Amino acid sequence: MSRNPYLPYPARIEEAVVENESRDIKTFRLAFEDPGSAAEFRYLPGQFAELSLPGVGEAPFGIASSPTESDRLLFSVKRVGVFTAELHSLEPGAPIGVRGPLGRPFPWERMSGKNLLVIGGGFAFTTLRALIKQVLHPDQRAHFGSLLVIYGARTPGELMYGNELAEWQKRSDIEVHLTVDNAANGWSQHVGVVPAVLEELKPSPKNALAVVCGPPIMLKFTLLSLTKLGFPDDAVILSLEMRMKCGVGKCGRCNIGGKYVCKDGPVFTRQELASLPAEY
């Protein structure tokens, strides 16, 4: 029989990096205690894992790294509740459990050969980072068409992965547009909400797939813009957030219609979501 799905792999925090100006998002680099666990933990961008702190509990987080970064496993976590506050208080070296990988990744087979439009808002850029890293890997890049990224946040200080964003902007195999609601001194890039930038850039829906992650209000208007641009529902890919516990489709908490976000998602096409009740 397979491994007990409730038993986390023992790991430890290698590094914790503050990602934003308000200092409530940190990226944790984890390392498995046992090399065997690392071999078992095979994932693809879009999947998530339950991080586990004994006595505090577990919480699901999208995996922010790509398996092409073989030396690291990253999770970017915003401090919102009891679990994340505890996690944020931990120093490198602290033990932590990792349970996963869980859920369905981004549809890599469908994405192959396609032009990719990646749209992110605020804190919901973690698994998109994983996606971009995967696509940019030298072994992978040729499998995809163009890669256009639109990423927005309230202020420049709230954009995550600043160094990498700057690096990507220098490259020719990826086009990155950053936008903020409130520009600070020295900001020379877009100002305005993500859908506005999207409509300005007018990416073609031809042979393209859009991957969108963001807060509900951004999602709502971005989806409207994508429709306007002619992206059919099955060419729009979203990742849902839902309260979860077991992560393996049993506890019922993340149930939306006949689907379980933990098992059948978190990645869904817009078309799939349209057939589900809007209980998310």
Residue selected from 1, 71, 186, 188 as contacting other proteins according to rule CB under 8 A: 1
Read off the amino acid at residue 148.
L
Residue selected from 15, 155, 248, 269 as contacting other proteins according to rule CB under 8 A: 248
Residue whose CB is less far from other proteins, 53 or 212: 53
Residue whose CB is less far from other proteins, 184 or 217: 217
* Site membership for other proteins, residue 25 (CB under 8 A): no
* Site membership for other proteins, residue 93 (CB under 8 A): no
Residue whose CB is less far from other proteins, 170 or 243: 243
Residue whose CB is less far from other proteins, 171 or 250: 250
- CB 62, min distance to other proteins, A: 15
Residue with tokens 């792999």: 9
- CB 229, min distance to other proteins, A: 28
* Site membership for other proteins, residue 97 (CB under 8 A): yes
* Site membership for other proteins, residue 253 (CB under 8 A): yes
Residue selected from 55, 93, 138, 186 as contacting other proteins according to rule CB under 8 A: 55
* Site membership for other proteins, residue 42 (CB under 8 A): no
Tell me the C-alpha distance between 39 and 264, whole Å.
24
Residue selected from 16, 28, 48, 58 as contacting other proteins according to rule CB under 8 A: 58
Q: Binding to other proteins (CB under 8 A): which residues in 104-163?
A: none
* Site membership for other proteins, residue 252 (CB under 8 A): yes
**Site residues for other proteins per CB under 8 A:** 1-2, 4-8, 10, 52, 54-58, 80-82, 84, 95, 97, 216, 241-243, 245-246, 248-253, 255-258, 277, 279-280
